Structure 1
Amino acid sequence: MLPGRLVDDVHEAIKARIMDHEIPPGARVSIDGLARELGVSPTPVREALARLESAQLVVKEPLRGYRTTPLLTQAQLADLYRFRLLVEPWAAATAAERLDADGRTRLTAELATADAPESDTYAAYRAFSAHDARFHLLLAELAGSEQVRDALVRTNWHLHIYRQYYHRGIGPQALAEHERVADAVLARDAAAAADAMREHLERSHARLEEETP
């Protein structure tokens, strides 16, 4: 196995444990323990943890090693959605206004990749989470704004949401909401696209509030 592939596999294995709360929020992460569990040396574990730190799933504490980050509080969650509500309805509306043949093809193709997860594990949700991220980032791209796209990437919202929503079941609801947004964009109806995105974000936030202490 190539070293790069090994780190990728270790990264996904540790991320799954964090997302499924097998390593609970706020827990100490043992590099040596994970290395033994995964049957690898500590080196790919350290490299994987460095990646996870950039995704805000772990934090490195001086002289103490790594710890998983806490779940978002209601205030932090509200702040995240406040930001998203400022930029994403605009992105959906502008994507609708600017839509061309290439954008239509890309958006239609992305919708075709979406399937509702069949269980509550991160392994089942990983493909849907990836679609969720691509869908929202694609609308920012179709709106012509790299600044908005990059700002969304830095929030790592899709990881926080799927880690937060421990009792999931949100796939079919989110997919239906994505389809309403996409239908409005494909119809080049900017007002309807903005409204559909706003409704999607408000419903997503409400679902998460039910799970957040």
Structure 2
Amino acid sequence: MASPQRRSGRQPLADKMYEVLLGQFTDGRWAAGEPVNIGALSRELDVSQTPLREALARLEHTGLVRREALKGYRVAPLLTEQELTKLMDARLVLEPALAFEAARRTTPEFLADVLETVDDLARAAKSPDSNVFSSYWMIDERFHLLIAHQAANPFLEKAYRALGGQVQRFRFFVELGSARGAPGQAAEEHRAVYDALADGSPVDAADRMRDHIENAKQRVLADRRSVAADGEQ
């Protein structure tokens, strides 16, 4: 059996490869349905295939990649409009409850962390950087995870994290052709949730989170329909 030291020595490299691959997804390098060539990645990143396989196994749990028997890994396909609707409906059930519970248990440290993500998202929304959506998704994820954890209900948090893999898939592979204002709108909605949390108002926090998820749902569905319409022309 490998020693704890040897295991801990391997884990950081697998973690690093996980972050590298996740970054490639957010930067739009990978297309939905594209096969993942582990050998080519190993040569490109100058690492053995073992940490890459460990990273891909973790990404499989998020729903971003799928492993096919005798074929290896492939990037997950785009969510259909029906899948997007069902995913956002599930978030509408879960996330207002998480915000409600988090608002009952605020601490100065928690509020400072949430405010940091709100300010970061506002800056990302104004950035001329062409990779603004990469930053947007990562900041958005941290905002929602902070609230899920602060709810202090391990069953609700586990449910959110289980759903989170599909949220990642939604974030990284949704078409964004007509949603260029999304970061700014989301930043305003995040700030409204933060204000309710800072006020210690569970009902308002739940309502503002519900507004945010519903608005996000409408934005992404409008975007998908716009892209589909453009493709038919």
Query: Shorter-chain TM-score: which interval?
Result: 0.7 to 0.9
Once the two structures are TM-superposed, the CA of residue 157 in structure 1 deviates from its matched residue by: 4.7
Distance 1:125 1:7, change over 3 A: farther
- Residue 163 of structure 1 aligns to which amino acid in structure 2? F
Q: 2-side partners of 1:59 and 1:172: how far apart?
A: 32
Q: 2-side partners of 1:17 and 1:142: how far apart?
A: 30
Q: Does 1:172 align with 2:181?
A: no
Distance 1:28 1:185, change over 3 A: same
- Residue 109 of structure 2 aligns to which amino acid in structure 1? T
Q: Percent identity?
A: 35
The residue that corresponds to 1:133 in the other structure is 141
C-alpha RMSD of matched pairs (Å) = 2.4
The residue that corresponds to 1:163 in the other structure is 172
Structure having the higher helix fraction is 2
TM-score normalised over the length of structure 1: 0.84
For structure 1, the residue ranges without an aligned partner over 5 or more in a row are none
**Cα displacement string for residues 124-168 of structure 1 (whole angstroms, at most 9, x for unaligned residues):** 555543432332233333333221111111122542232134436
SS of equivalent to 1:59? strand
TM-score normalised over the length of structure 2: 0.77
Structure 1 residues 31-40 or 61-70, which shifts more? 31-40
* Number of aligned positions between the proteins: 207
Q: Contact between 1:184 and 1:192, CA under 8 Å: does it hold in 2?
A: yes
The residue that corresponds to 1:105 in the other structure is 109
Structure 1 residues 54-63 or 168-177, which shifts more? 168-177
**Cα displacement string for residues 3-59 of structure 1 (whole angstroms, at most 9, x for unaligned residues):** 433323322222233333322111111111111222222222222211211211111
Q: 2-side partners of 1:142 and 1:23: how far apart?
A: 33
Once the two structures are TM-superposed, the CA of residue 197 in structure 1 deviates from its matched residue by: 0.9
- Residue 141 of structure 1 aligns to which amino acid in structure 2? H
The residue that corresponds to 2:4 in the other structure is none
Q: 1-side partners of 2:25 and 2:186: how far apart?
A: 22
The residue that corresponds to 2:161 in the other structure is 153
